[in-house]
């Protein structure tokens, strides 16, 4: 049907004489379907078609819809369709749109409720209408109704309208919410009174009134839609003035609304984004974070979420947007989408990037300075210890020669040696003073270490952990016994424990860890002991292995190579620390790995000549008749043979003293209990137990007499705070290496008497 401002007349049929061939149910379904539209324009068309359908059902030839005024009725305007323009005044009533040609002339003034309004020229097709003006006819140009007619319609039944300009008609109430809001005027009937009587006394009347109720609901809904449309239009106009992007996304992830700020920021028309996927203009690298933000916002209905996401403008350039939003709920509290704002923070991100870059440069400069300081401090510390150990022998034995009468020239030569040695010692002490100022100093005692003893000790320590996980620890199968490497025993033990712990933790159930060692050349190949420059220790496991492209990350601090996603605890510092310790000892650490097969670590330590088992005595006697258990026994806890020889020869100057030597800390504690010496000379860097631990064992002994045993620390560890720390722990005196012979004899005489 063409939507016009005219009455549409059904084709002549039996229905025109009061009998429509449709059932009442069909009429109500038809009218209800026509009025189920969701827009103002569609409801306009539905109302017009519904008027035609009901008029035909009653048997009329035309129908008009008149809206009830809020005040007394007066001259009314016809139902205004969108974009309608006034037409010229009709020459006669018969020419007015909506009226049937050939009707009687216009009645005299005062007979009708209202004058004939000027006709309207309809637009070319349906269009939205702002609202139904109160008191105006809906379709056609018939006048409004009187107050009396509206009052009669309030009774809810059809009535006869004898005042219609187009001739007598039937008025059907159009009600909503119990109130009559409009009237359906049906004309062109053969006998209006008979039709009204039939409608009021039959089921057809209830059907017509029911259809009117549907039309009343449609009118009320049309008003709401018109009001909503106006409010929405105003809101959209306001939103388009906002600088931030406002967006709505439906449950399928499609954009249902976006304001004009999007066009200004990206150059992409906002209209082009409607119906597109919300991820279409998101930077590919940010798809995941944007999708997670969208899902999180819909899931957590009460919380507004914020994320920074990059979007691409029309030229593909990224712009950073701060996305804030939350779920959109319907009246029932159900999530129907996501709504939020996109605030352009590109400049802020650029400023942050610039600030981060400046900070990174500053941190890199600081790190370089700190690394330089640490390198200098570590170098000075290592060099101090390495120089003090031979210098201790040089000055010590030179001082022994000073106690012997020499020829003048020999005495002068000796004096030059002592002077040069003491000058060198002064240089070392000055260097240490500088090192104490620096941070990150690493204290080491690099010495000859029996490798098999360290390996066996570490395997025994790790066995309980391995047994718990069903991992087998395999001891060395080679016959390379008596191998000696140049290393700090405690630090080497620390490195091995770390490697074994990792091999057990990251192994397979019922896996295996094998430890072997052999003399090696510079490439790690096995060679004869006399040709060896290195002693290689290998720790091999049957674990998960390491991907080839990540091998260069193994020694990076805090890098766990994906192990942080497993249940295995760790900090990612162990291997980094192991490398620092190996580097500090002048050793090397490397690895090979096959993913899914296992990993092998290689420790290359500077090799020393092998010593057969039993060649190094545990207890040495300084006197000619063996050790004495009298109160003149002096116990020297020291693992360096050169230092032992020096002290032996120094104390031979005291004939009543017997020197007993313990090569490690544990032996030292045992001999203190067995010999009950008059004095203990104690080194700090020792195998098994450190000097600090030996001192603590003596001072905390259950025997009160042993607790009072004098202890003099003799060590090359002159790092900042060492003397203060040891004296606070109970040391009676502190002698730095190189040993001053006179100072040593003075301490011995003081404590032994």
pLDDT in tens, 196-213: 998 888 888 889 999 988
Which residues make beta-bridge pairs with 180? 175
pLDDT at 111 over 70: no
Mean of pLDDT values over 451-462: 88
The pairs formed by 731-739 with CB atoms below 8 angstroms and a separation of 24 or more are 731/682, 731/695, 737/388, 737/389, 737/391, 737/392, 737/643, 738/388, 738/391, 738/392, 738/393, 738/394, 738/395, 738/396, 738/421, 738/425, 739/392, 739/395, 739/396, 739/643, 739/646, 739/647, 739/650, 739/714
The larger pLDDT score, comparing residue 344 to residue 99, is at 344
Q: Residue 321 phi/psi, 5° resolution?
A: -125, 135
Mean of pLDDT values over 501-522: 90
The SS3 call for residue 553 is helix
**What architecture (CATH level 2) is domain 14-230?**
2-Layer Sandwich (3.30)
Confidence of residue 475 (pLDDT cuts 50, 70, 90): confident
Query: What percentage of residues in the chain have a pLDDT greater than 90?
Result: 15
- pLDDT by residue (tens digit) across 318-340? 989 888 888 888 888 888 888 88
- pLDDT by residue (tens digit) across 281-297? 999 999 998 888 888 87
C-alpha to C-alpha distance for 338 and 354, rounded to whole angstroms: 33
Q: What would the CATH number be for the domain defined by 633-752? A: 3.40.50.2300
Residue 562's pLDDT is what? 63
**Same CATH fold assignment for domains 447-608 and 633-752:** no
Mean of pLDDT values over 455-470: 87
Residue 653's pLDDT is what? 79
Average pLDDT, rounded, for the chain = 77
The larger pLDDT score, comparing residue 608 to residue 744, is at 744
Mean of pLDDT values over 478-503: 82
Confidence of residue 628 (pLDDT cuts 50, 70, 90): very low
Mean of pLDDT values over 262-281: 89
The larger pLDDT score, comparing residue 720 to residue 178, is at 178
Query: Candidates 3.30.565.10, 3.30.230.10, 3.40.50.300, 3.40.50.720; correct CATH number of 447-608?
Result: 3.30.565.10
C-alpha to C-alpha distance for 46 and 11, rounded to whole angstroms: 19
Least confident of 195-204, 240-249, 303-312: 240-249
Cβ pair 632, 678 in contact under 8 A: yes
pLDDT at 705 over 50: yes
The larger pLDDT score, comparing residue 538 to residue 226, is at 538
Which is it for strands 472-474 and 512-520: parallel, antiparallel or unpaired? parallel
- Tell me the CATH class for 242-344: alpha beta
Residue 528's pLDDT is what? 87
The larger pLDDT score, comparing residue 618 to residue 261, is at 261
Least confident of 399-403, 478-482, 749-753: 478-482
For 179-246, the DSSP string reads EEEEEEEEE--S-HHHHHHHHHHSHHHHHHHHHHHHHHHHHHHHHHHHHHHHHHHHHHHHHTT-SSEE
Mean of pLDDT values over 591-600: 91
pLDDT at 76 over 70: no
Q: Residue 57 phi/psi, 5° resolution?
A: -65, -35
For 421-462, the DSSP string reads HHHHHHHHHHHHHHHHHSS-------EEEEHHHHHHHHHHHH
Confidence of residue 720 (pLDDT cuts 50, 70, 90): low
Residue 731's pLDDT is what? 92
CB atoms within 10 A of CB 640: 20
For 282-347, the DSSP string reads B-GGGHHHHHHHHHHHHHSTTPPEEEEEEEE-TTS-EEEEEEEEEEEE-TTS-EEEEEEEEEE-HH
pLDDT at 430 over 60: no
Task: Check residue 140 and report its DSSP letter.
Answer: S
Mean of pLDDT values over 183-207: 89
Confidence of residue 694 (pLDDT cuts 50, 70, 90): very high
What is the number of H-type helices and E-type strands within the chain?
19, 23
Query: What percentage of residues in the chain have a pLDDT greater than 70?
Result: 75
Least confident of 83-97, 199-213, 568-582: 83-97
- pLDDT by residue (tens digit) across 156-180? 889 998 877 678 899 999 998 888 9
Mean of pLDDT values over 360-364: 89
pLDDT at 243 over 80: no
- pLDDT by residue (tens digit) across 1-59? 333 233 444 434 333 334 445 788 888 888 888 888 778 888 888 888 889 889 889 88
Residue 352's pLDDT is what? 84
* Domain boundaries of the chain, sorted by first residue: 14-230, 242-344, 351-437, 447-608, 633-752
């Amino acid at each position: 049907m063409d939507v016009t401002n005219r009455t549409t007349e059904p084709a002549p049929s039996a229905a025109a004489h009061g009998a429509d061939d449709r059932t009442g149910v069909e009429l109500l379904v038809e009218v209800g379907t026509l009025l189920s539209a969701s827009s103002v324009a569609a409801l306009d068309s539905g109302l017009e078609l519904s008027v035609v359908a009901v008029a035909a059902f009653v048997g009329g030839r035309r129908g008009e819809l008149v809206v009830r005024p809020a005040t007394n009725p007066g001259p009314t305007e016809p139902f205004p369709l969108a974009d309608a323009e006034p037409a010229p005044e009709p020459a006669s009533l018969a020419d007015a749109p909506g009226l049937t040609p050939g009707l009687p002339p216009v009645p005299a003034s005062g007979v009708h409720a209202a004058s004939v309004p000027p006709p309207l020229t309809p637009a070319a097709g349906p269009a939205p209408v702002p609202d139904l003006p109160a008191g105006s006819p809906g379709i056609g140009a018939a006048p409004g109704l009187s107050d009396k007619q509206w009052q009669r319609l309030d009774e809810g039944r059809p009535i006869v309208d004898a005042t219609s300009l187009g001739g007598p008609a039937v008025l059907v109430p159009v009600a909503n919410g119990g109130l009559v809001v409009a009237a359906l005027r049906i004309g062109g009937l053969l006998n209006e009174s008979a039709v009204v009587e039939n409608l009021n006394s039959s089921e057809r009347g209830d059907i017509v009134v029911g259809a009117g109720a549907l039309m009343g609901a449609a009118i009320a809904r049309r008003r709401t839609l018109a009001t909503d449309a106006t409010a929405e239009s105003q809101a959209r106009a306001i939103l388009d003035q906002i600088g931030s992007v406002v967006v709505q996304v439906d449950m399928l992830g499609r954009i249902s609304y976006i304001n004009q700020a999007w066009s200004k920021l990206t150059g992409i028309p906002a209209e082009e984004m409607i119906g597109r996927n919300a991820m279409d203009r998101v930077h590919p690298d940010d798809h995941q974070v944007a999708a997670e933000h969208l899902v999180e916002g819909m899931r957590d209905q009460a919380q507004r979420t914020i994320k920074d996401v990059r979007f691409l403008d029309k030229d593909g350039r990224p712009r950073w947007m701060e996305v804030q939003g939350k779920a959109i709920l319907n009246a029932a509290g159900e999530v129907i989408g996501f709504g939020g704002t996109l605030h352009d923070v590109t400049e802020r991100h650029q400023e942050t990037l610039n600030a981060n870059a400046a900070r990174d440069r500053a941190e890199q400069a600081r790190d370089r300075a700190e690394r330089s300081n640490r390198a200098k401090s570590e170098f000075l510390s290592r060099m101090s210890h390495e120089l003090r150990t031979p210098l201790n022998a040089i000055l010590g034995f030179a001082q022994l020669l000073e106690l012997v009468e020499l020829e003048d020239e020999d005495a002068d030569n000796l004096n030059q040696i002592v002077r040069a040695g003491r000058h060198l010692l002064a240089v070392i002490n000055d260097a240490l003073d500088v090192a104490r100022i620096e941070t990150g100093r690493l204290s080491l005692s690099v010495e000859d270490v029996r490798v098999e003893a360290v390996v066996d000790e570490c395997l025994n320590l790790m066995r309980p952990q391995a047994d718990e996980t069903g991992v087998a620890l395999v001891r060395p199968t080679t016959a390379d016994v008596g191998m000696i490497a140049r290393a700090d025993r405690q630090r080497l033990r620390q490195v091995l424990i770390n490697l074994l712990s990792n091999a057990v933790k990251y192994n397979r159930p019922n896996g295996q860890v094998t430890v072997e060692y052999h003399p090696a050349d510079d490439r790690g190949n096995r060679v004869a002991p006399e040709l060896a420059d290195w002693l290689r220790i290998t720790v091999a496991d049957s674990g998960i292995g390491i991907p080839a492209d990540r091998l260069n990350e193994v020694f990076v601090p805090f890098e766990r190579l994906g192990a942080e996603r497993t249940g295995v605890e760790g900090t990612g510092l162990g291997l980094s620390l192991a490398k620092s310790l190996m580097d500090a000892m002048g050793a090397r650490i490397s690895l090979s790995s096959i993913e899914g097969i296992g990993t092998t670590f290689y420790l290359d330590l500077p090799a020393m000549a092998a010593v057969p088992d039993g060649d190094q005595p545990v207890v040495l006697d300084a006197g000619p008749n063996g050790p004495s258990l009298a109160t003149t026994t002096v116990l020297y806890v020291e693992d360096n043979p050169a230092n032992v020889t020096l002290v032996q020869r120094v104390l031979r100057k005291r004939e009543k003293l017997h020197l007993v030597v313990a090569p490690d800390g544990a032996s030292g504690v045992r001999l203190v209990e067995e010999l009950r010496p008059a004095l203990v000379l104690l080194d700090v860097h020792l195998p098994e137990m450190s000097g600090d631990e030996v001192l603590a064992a003596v001072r905390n002994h259950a025997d009160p007499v042993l607790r009072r045993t004098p202890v003099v620390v003799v060590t090359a560890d002159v790092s900042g705070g060492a003397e203060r720390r040891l004296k606070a722990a109970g040391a009676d005196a502190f002698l730095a290496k190189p040993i001053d012979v006179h100072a040593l004899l003075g301490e011995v005489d003081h404590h032994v008497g």
